[in-house]
């Protein structure tokens, strides 16, 4: 049993991670300011003696005693991170500094949840960890893209300067139960619109591609990365290499959700990447990990969750 802190632990990914760690018997401290996360996500854990919830913003220092830190704190959908872009950048940068400072003091192993957005609108396809990316540093998405890139810089500088035990993963599009219904991500958008009988919103021509990883597969990768050998820092791509166009995803959601919704086309947002697909060779080699849940199977679970949530 370990003392583990999960920042952003009441969010979509964080709540699933807390559930996994508590189930394994670890003493888990869930830290969240509830900007995008919610108590409802972790409420089933409230009665567990090895779970604790703390309201805290990681842009301020935190003094606790832990052995491992998962740093997941940051709004991750465009609607949420563009609502307050300055705070988004502060969460990524100041939050990383504070979590790294905590890890340095306690000599804890720390994992940074980075993002495929560090690759921007890539010129290399699929994206490998050695690709440096193509990011607009002054665009509307840069608060998130550049914030995460700076966080990675800080992690590796702490590794080189202070010999900190770090792990860095780059998370590609992930979906599943507990996604926020209004987070603006394509999977939740399509499902909610379909269940409400609204037209599914396609931005641009719908030929943009994304790769979708089910949340259970993602959590398994995070746990394996945290348990990997010291000195293996990453960054490591974590995602499902199956590539789908937005049109293909919309048609699959319509088929699985039922109803008579149609497609509605709108202009593509600024700096929206045209292609996104992870090369997961490193994760397969070093972590023995590959996603197992097919997109259609994961969508069925996610649609069932949203159907229940919207009904409530």
3-state helix, strand, coil in the chain (%, to 5): 40, 20, 40
Contact (Cβ atoms closer than 8 angstroms) between residue 264 and residue 200 = yes
Q: Residues 70, 81, 144, 175: which is the catalytic one?
A: 144
Sign of the alpha-carbon torsion through 222, 191, 85, 237:
positive
Asked whether 71 and 112 are in contact (CB, 8 A), the reply is yes
DSSP 16: H
Known active-site residue 203: no
Report whether 10 contacts 42 (CB < 8 A). Answer: yes
Question: Can you give the C-alpha Rg of the chain in angstroms?
Answer: 19
Host H or E run for residue 104: helix 85-106
Q: What does residue 302 show for φ and ψ, rounded to 5 degrees?
A: -70, -40
Largest CA distance in the chain: 58
Residues known to be catalytic: 144
């Amino acid at each position: 049993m370990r003392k583990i802190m999960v920042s952003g632990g009441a969010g979509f990914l964080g709540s699933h991670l807390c559930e996994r760690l508590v189930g394994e018997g670890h003493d888990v401290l869930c830290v969240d300011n509830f900007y995008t996360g919610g108590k409802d996500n972790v409420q089933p854990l409230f009665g567990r003696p090895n779970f604790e919830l703390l309201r805290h913003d990681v842009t301020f220092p935190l003094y606790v005693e832990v052995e491992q830190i998962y740093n997941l704190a940051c709004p991750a959908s465009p609607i949420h991170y563009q609502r307050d872009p300055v705070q988004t950048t502060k969460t990524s940068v100041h939050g990383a500094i504070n979590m790294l400072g905590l890890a340095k003091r306690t000599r804890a192993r720390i994992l940074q949840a980075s993002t495929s957005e560090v690759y921007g609108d890539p010129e290399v396809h699929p994206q490998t960890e050695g690709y440096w990316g193509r990011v607009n540093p002054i665009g509307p998405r840069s608060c998130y893209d550049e914030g995460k890139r700076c966080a990675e810089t800080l992690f590796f500088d702490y590794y080189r300067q202070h010999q900190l035990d770090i792990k860095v993963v780059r998370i590609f599009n992930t979906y599943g139960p507990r996604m926020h219904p209004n987070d603006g991500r394509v999977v939740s958008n399509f499902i909610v619109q379909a269940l409400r009988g609204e037209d599914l919103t396609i931005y641009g021509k719908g030929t943009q591609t994304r790769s979708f990883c089910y949340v259970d597969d993602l959590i398994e990768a995070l746990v394996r990365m945290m348990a990997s050998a010291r000195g293996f820092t990453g960054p490591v791509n974590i995602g499902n290499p199956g590539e789908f166009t937005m049109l293909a995803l919309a048609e699959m959601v319509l088929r699985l959700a039922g109803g008579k919704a149609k497609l509605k086309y709108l202009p593509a947002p600024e700096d929206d990447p045209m292609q996104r697909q992870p090369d997961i060779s490193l994760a397969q080699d070093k972590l023995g990990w590959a996603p197992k849940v097919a997109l259609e199977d994961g969508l069925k679970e996610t649609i069932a969750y949203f159907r229940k949530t919207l009904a409530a």
